[in-house]
Structure 1
């Protein structure tokens, strides 16, 4: 007795999600690479189908071919990822993404210092006003 093998239809959004997670790429990073929002990437990953242009942009950003996403399987993914990662150029899969040259903590400290200076100047002015020493303009 033969059992019928039921083939599931391709769910491109799910394939994109699985490929992205296999590559270790966050939705926010992919969104930045594509010039969109993380919410839009989440929406795309929930859709069963997508237009060819979108699929090609996502594939390019991930450093894989559109066919690799369409034909995604857990077994084939590791081979494709390893092969494409070794030969990729300038995308998030190869680790080449924007790196900022400033330290955000230093920027916060600079802002704090500027606010503190302004507060001290304001206090000095208020003290002079209270003592009757109104500054001349």
Structure 2
């Protein structure tokens, strides 16, 4: 089995890209660092272990299975090529959304949460008043 098809090296590289040490992954899995080292040299993993690892790394099992470092770097290079302005950095941010709309959405959501909190507090006061009046 070629290195590209081995699951262990893909886990190793994803772990490194996440800035995680083998010891941290081992602790999260409840195994030794040596077990993680052996796992990262493995061609295959049991599905339940792969699922655990993927959750810890914050990706899906399929993302690990299909991980291709060359494709990642091609995406990064394409992004950098498209985001540059003849080699100069742009001082204007490029948004794919309207920040004012997002701010208004957040404000509306905050308002709804406040109203729900207010209703919950009113319910508590009413319940307390009923309890005190029944005594």
Please report the TM-score for the alignment, with normalisation by the length of structure 1.
Answer: 0.48
Q: Name the one with the larger helix percent.
A: 2
